[in-house]
Structure 1
Amino acid sequence: MINNVEALSYSSVALLTLPSQVGSVKAPTEFLPRLAVSEAHLLREKTMIRIALRITVAVGLSALLLGCSPLKFLNFLTPGGTCNKAYDLKYGNDPRNRLDVYTPVNLATDVPVVVFFYGGSWSSGSRSDYGFVGEALAARGIVAVIADYRLYPQVHYQGFLEDSARAIGWTREHIRQYGGDPARLYVMGHSAGGYNAAMVALDPQWLAAVDMEPSMLSGWIGLAGPYDFLPVENPAVRPIFFFPNSPPDSQPINHVGAKSPPALLIAARDDTLVNPERNTGGMARRLREQGVPVRELYFSKPGHGTLIAAFSRPMRWLAPVLDEVVAFIHGQGLASEISHD
């Protein structure tokens, strides 16, 4: 539930180990006499790729040292022309009730739709930082909606859940204008945003306010989300949930039922910010107890912040997070199972 920018900044130090993941750079000339020309060419290309990766890491770290958000750096590395964008669409009356829509370039009609909520401990964050998520989904033939929502101290937890439901209601009403199919609607969130996604998918009261119900969602996707975290330990988060009188009703895990939508739950295996065993594992177990299809995945390379960064093109080597999300949305990942890389 830590601020995502901070988490990603901390995790960016791990990028220094990137060459060890893909192999160290060596001059290929000492091997050339023993290689065919084609093999030598292939080795030279691999070497250049590794050098390029090191340069990317160096540039990224330099950006961090100069005060550039690592998320903005990932957006900078995201190519243009791979999707269409509609910015600053209003879904409510508050200045933070705005969203952006990312659509495929070669848009077919009635394609699936994902509404994404970012994290930031419910006290920071901006949809503009997550353009790489919208681009990644749109490039795979999915309409992506990325929404801002009100934050603490402007509101407590009920306020940002109201906004999350409003954003979903707006999407269901208007998304056909952007080629999306409201009957193939998914909600996804990372970290604190995973909480938002879980609550609107599991607790009927939030979608009821926009004349919807959870059964209208085709599924929900939680990325390192907190679903069972009472008593609240983070001092910055405690007032958001009225600590020490945090209501049990505020916990997603307490709203799981037999009619809950199918779920894809992904976490970093060694996440030290949101306990993956208690939150992702506990939620998956509760869903299975109710007979709800759930796919549960744990990846070893990304951390809490870099789990969402794995959507970006430069960071996809960390884990196939995007592939799993796309497969789930296209109906290939509904078998109830658990997997570790």
Structure 2
Amino acid sequence: MRNLVIYMFVAVLPLYANAQALSYKTVENVYYYDSQTADQTSYMKEKSLLDVYYPEGDHKVPVVIWFHGGGLTAGQKEIPSALKDKGFCVVGVGYRLSPNIKAETCIADAAAAIAWVFKNIERYNGDPSQIFVSGHSAGGYLALMAVMDKSWLKKYNLDSDLVAGLVPFSGHTITHFTIRKEQGIPGEQPIIDKLAPLYHVRKNAPPTLLITGDREKEMLGRYEENAYFYRMLKVAGHEDITLYEMDGYGHNMTGPAFPLLVDFIKSKSNVD
């Protein structure tokens, strides 16, 4: 498995020469909540924003939604350079952060952003039938929770099974440590409750690619969490899930992981 990761990292790099010839634009600071949303605050309007990086043209392309990391307490929206010029739209999402809000609210923001993409991305040449959800660390957790727990997108009359693919980088599959901290639970004590992606495993979840760092270099049990999530999805009957362990890399493993995400999108869509 580890040797395969290294091979794919080298192999996928030259696949997007044609995509790089396209012209791209960026739209920044789009507020993704409906204007009718109740109890909006200045902090919400400051943080609940997204950027869209998209190719010009007259055909629809795949979309990747990217949630930044930072433990649900730090970080800001970003369009990773490794995802640019690959022939698809990239949506970098910002969200409110603990302790300004309860960490569970981060999931609400993630779901609202995904719903916005489904309803608006065609304006940016994005194909709503080819939306992939990804992110690193806390962002990986948000990607998992907003999609695996179907109730979050159901609020927007969306079925999360319509997501074309789910690709968390080193994401929690147990309840996030910041949510546990808010409850007085130490980071070394694992919890699986309704705020854990593991709680929501099901046969009909979207195609999933799990990527973590080396089990000996990752944060507390992060590889093992993902391995258990992988196994339980398999037990539930899910047939399209892969787990990669990035040999020699710790928690900050995004560099070698991005080509795997790009290749995954290509394999599930019609990108040249």
TM class, shorter-length? 0.7 to 0.9
Structure 1 segments of 4+ aligned residues over 3 angstroms from their partners? 236-240, 243-247
- What does the per-residue CA deviation read over 1:227-284, in whole Å, with 9 as the maximum and x for residues that have no partner? 1258x5xxx65334x2349771111001011111110100111333142332221111
Candidates 88, 102, 125, aligned match of 2:29: 88
3-state SS of 1:249 partner: coil
- What does the per-residue CA deviation read over 1:75-124, in whole Å, with 9 as the maximum and x for residues that have no partner? xxxxxx974211111112522110001113x5452111111111111011
Instruction: Establish whether residue 254 from structure 1 lines up as the match of residue 195 from structure 2.
Output: no
Instruction: Give how far 1:208 is off.
Output: 1.0
Give the direction of change, closer, same or farther, for the CA distance of 1:179–1:274 in structure 2 (3 Å limit). farther
CA contact (8 A) 1:228 1:278 kept: no
CA contact (8 A) 1:123 1:152 kept: yes
- In the alignment, the residues of structure 2 paired with residue 126 and residue 260 of structure 1 have an alpha-carbon distance, to the nearest angstrom, of 28
Give the direction of change, closer, same or farther, for the CA distance of 1:88–1:300 in structure 2 (3 Å limit). same
Kindly indicate which of the two structures has a greater share of residues assigned to helix. 1
CA contact (8 A) 2:76 2:94 kept: yes
Alignment map for 1:1-341 (pairs within 5 Å): 83-92=24-33, 93=40, 94=44, 95-104=46-55, 107=57, 109-127=59-77, 130-131=78-79, 133=80, 135-229=81-175, 232=177, 238-240=180-182, 242-244=183-185, 248-269=193-214, 270-292=216-238, 293-305=240-252, 307-308=253-254, 310=255, 319=256, 321-331=257-267
In structure 1, the residue matched to 2:11 is none
Instruction: Give how far 1:302 is off.
Output: 2.6
Instruction: Give how far 1:210 is off.
Output: 1.5
User: RCO higher in 1 or 2 (8 Å CA, sep ≥ 6)?
Assistant: 2
Give the direction of change, closer, same or farther, for the CA distance of 1:239–1:277 in structure 2 (3 Å limit). closer
Larger Rg: 1
| Number of aligned residue pairs | 233
- In the alignment, the residues of structure 2 paired with residue 243 and residue 196 of structure 1 have an alpha-carbon distance, to the nearest angstrom, of 21
- What does the per-residue CA deviation read over 1:167-226, in whole Å, with 9 as the maximum and x for residues that have no partner? 011111110111100111111011011110001111011111111121111111110111
Task: Name the % identity.
Answer: 28
- In the alignment, the residues of structure 1 paired with residue 268 and residue 158 of structure 2 have an alpha-carbon distance, to the nearest angstrom, of 26
- In the alignment, the residues of structure 2 paired with residue 84 and residue 168 of structure 1 have an alpha-carbon distance, to the nearest angstrom, of 20
> Considering only aligned residues, what root-mean-square deviation do their CA atoms show, in Å?
2.4
Question: What TM-score results when the alignment is normalised by the length of structure 1?
Answer: 0.63
Q: Which runs of no fewer than 5 residues in structure 2 stay unpaired?
A: 1-21, 34-39
CA contact (8 A) 2:212 2:245 kept: yes
Q: Which runs of no fewer than 5 residues in structure 1 stay unpaired?
A: 1-80, 311-318, 334-341
